Structure 1
Amino acid sequence: MVHKNTRPTVADIRLMKARGQKISMLYVTTLEEAAAADAAGIHMLSIEGRFFSPAMREAAGHCFVQVGLPFGSSGTVEGSRLVTAEDYLRAAFHFAAMGGDCFYCAASYDIQKVLCDNRVPIVAHVGLVPTHITWTGFRAVGKTASEALMIWRQVKQLESVGCFGAELEVVPDRVGEFISRNTSMIMLGMGAGPGADAQYLFAEDVLGHTEGHKPRHAKTYRNFAAEYARLQQERIAAFKEFVTDVDAGAYPAPHHNVAMQESEYVAFVEQVKL
């Protein structure tokens, strides 16, 4: 297991920004994806609380892990839902004990401030925010001066409450670069252009097995969908062969069975006395 002191810290991530070093980031959901990200040298991972566990932390290795705490979701702590600042604090401390390095929170500024005041590294969200989608629709945000100014003011407000960073999703590249250069926060760009501090993608997009809409900013490097489809056909074929073997009496074969001495079997039958 990777010792916590060998992993990047908030201070290290901030130093990367100060040096102008690009940060790679993936959203992952499985142990295999987390382990592959670590082996590949990915800097940051985003893992929702429902997927995060000590095993996931170990698989993530040297990666800096952002644990997602979506508003209203189950915090997995005593079955509570994340609504109040206390709920968020309880969940953050719970996941911090497992090795979470920072925490995603798109709740209100007052809740974010409570977390920050308790020295919890918080990543907020601006631009296209899926949990707030009713206010914008699924579209790029910030293409007009007024919308870009709205995002800028949100960033400065998040900065003032003490947030460590913010996801910057689907905004014009020039806006993404301007904001990243003019805030102390780490701006995790998802469709925000090359000027963002980090480039953030979902593993499912990178691996080519996205279900439903594939965003413009997604880039696919492998076709896992075809491989998964092939594996599913192989599963079906194997299961069919099993059914055929059972129907024909070919399974189980003698080498699958547990042997018993004839004398012991005879003694057993005699004692049963049917």
Structure 2
Amino acid sequence: MMGQRPTVADIRAMKGRHQYTMLRVETLDELAAAEKAGVEMVSVPPTMMVLPHFREIAPSLFAVPGENFYEIGTADDFVRWAFRMLKAGADAVYCSAGFATVRRLADDNVPVIGHVGLIPSRATWTGGFKAVGKTADSAMQIFEAVKAYEKAGAFGAEIEVVPAEVASAISERTSLFLVSMGAGTGCDCQYLFADDVLGQNRGHVPRHAKRYRDFATEFDRLQNERVAAFAEFVSDVRSGAYPEQRHLVGLDRTEMERFLQRVGASDG
């Protein structure tokens, strides 16, 4: 059910009182479905955010465009990028760059959502794509990162693949809006990728993901139907079954005779 789009102030006021829902969507069809389904927040590719009809499709969704920081450039580049996103209708921006960059953005009142726990672009530092925060030392590093985001002026942080108890304890001790991806319900928002929710992935499915549909199988069925339809078309052309008379444009016989007379005259 569509509602009024929340503001940063609204979200902060609901900390500890409401679990927001958030999806990463990659297509306009997914965006429209999220709007109609009552999802409250979306992470989106920047190229989608700047489309002129974005807000026509998603008037009530709190939108957070995200891009790997190394695709954007320096802190100055990030500030310019962020203002382009806000001008296009973004409500906040995702930033996994250093705290100095977050501070630059916050100084210009850009709502920033950072990233702690398992950060894919930095997974080599934490041992690869696996849970983070399973020891006291590792959990403390996550807490310190959250506090650093607080100090830098961030609005929130995604906390990914962290034990639920750790994430909950951190959430109780921070003013940040904590977006849980596989980090339990002690945070402020539950975040999944639409690809996982729809069952579009064919490879590894993360532990925290829940499949609600099996689009991959449906895509396979549709592809088989494409191949079959194309093969039938080829067969029809070769056998003369296509085109049939009903596929052709008709012509009055008198007009055809007149045309042939003129063509014949031009031959001479």
Contact kept, 8 Å, 1:45 with 1:63, in 2: the verdict is yes
Displacement of 1:254:
2.6
Q: Which residue of 2 aligns with 1:144?
A: 135
Paired letter, 1:101: D
Q: Which residue of 2 aligns with 1:241?
A: 232
User: Equivalents in 2 of 1:152, 1:65: separation in Å?
Assistant: 26
- Aligned counterpart in structure 1 of residue 155 of structure 2, from 164, 167, 178: 164
CA contact (8 A) 1:159 1:184 kept: yes
Partners of 2:189 and 2:261 in 1: CA distance: 74
Q: Structure 1 residues 158, 268: closer, same or farther in 2, change over 3 A?
A: farther
Q: 1:185-241, CA deviations, whole angstroms, 9 ceiling, x for partnerless residues?
A: 110000101111101011111111213221111111111121111111111111111
Q: Decide whether the 8 Å contact of 2:118 with 2:131 is kept in 1.
A: yes
Equivalent residue, structure 1, for 2:256: 262
Q: Retained in 1: the 8 A contact 2:202–2:216?
A: no
Residue of structure 2 equivalent to 1:130: 120
Paired position in structure 1 for 2:40: 43
Q: Cα–Cα, structure 1 residues 134 and 50, in superposed 2: closer, same or farther, change >3 Å? A: farther
CA contact (8 A) 1:16 1:23 kept: no
Aligned to 1:222: 213
State the percentage of identical aligned residues. Answer: 48
Q: Does the 8 A contact of 1:57 with 1:100 survive in 2? A: no
* Distance (whole Å) between structure 1 residues aligned to residue 262 and residue 60 of structure 2: 59
Give, in angstroms, the shift of residue 51 of structure 1: 3.8
Q: 2:261 and 2:151 mapped to 1: Cα distance? A: 83
- 1:168–1:265 CA distance, 2 compared to 1 (3 A): farther
TM-superposed deviation, 1:95: 2.0
AA in 2 matched with 1:229: D
Deviates more, 1:89-98 or 1:161-170: 89-98
Q: Any gaps of 5 or more consecutive residues in structure 1?
A: 74-81
Q: Residue 117 in 1 paired to residue 107 in 2? A: yes
CA contact (8 A) 1:69 1:88 kept: no
Structure 1: distance between partners of 2:75 and 2:265: 69
CA, structure 1 residues 250+126, in 2 after alignment: closer, same or farther (shift >3 Å)?
A: same
Shift of the 88–259 alpha-carbon distance from structure 1 to 2, 3 Å rule, reads farther
1:13 is matched with which residue? 11
Secondary structure of 2:14's match? helix
Change (3 A) 1:259 1:196: same
Rounded to whole Å, the distance in 2 between the matches of 1:63 and 1:271 is 70
1:139 maps to a residue whose letter is K
Q: Which runs of 5+ in 2 are unaligned?
A: none
2:203 equivalent to 1:205: no
Letter in 2 for 1:12: D
For 1:154 and 1:88, how far apart are their aligned partners in 2? 20
SS at match of 1:54: coil
Q: Give the Cα separation in 1 of the matches to 2:56 and 2:258.
A: 50
Q: Which contiguous aligned blocks of 4+ residues in structure 1 show a shift greater than 6 angstroms?
A: none
Partner deviation per Cα, 1:86-119 (whole Å, 9 max, x = no partner): 2112222222222111110100111111111111
- AA at the equivalent of 2:106: C
CA-CA distance at 1:171 after TM superposition = 0.4
Q: TM-score, normalised by structure 1?
A: 0.89
Deviation (angstroms), 1:182: 1.4
Q: Which structure is larger by alpha-carbon Rg, 1 or 2?
A: 2
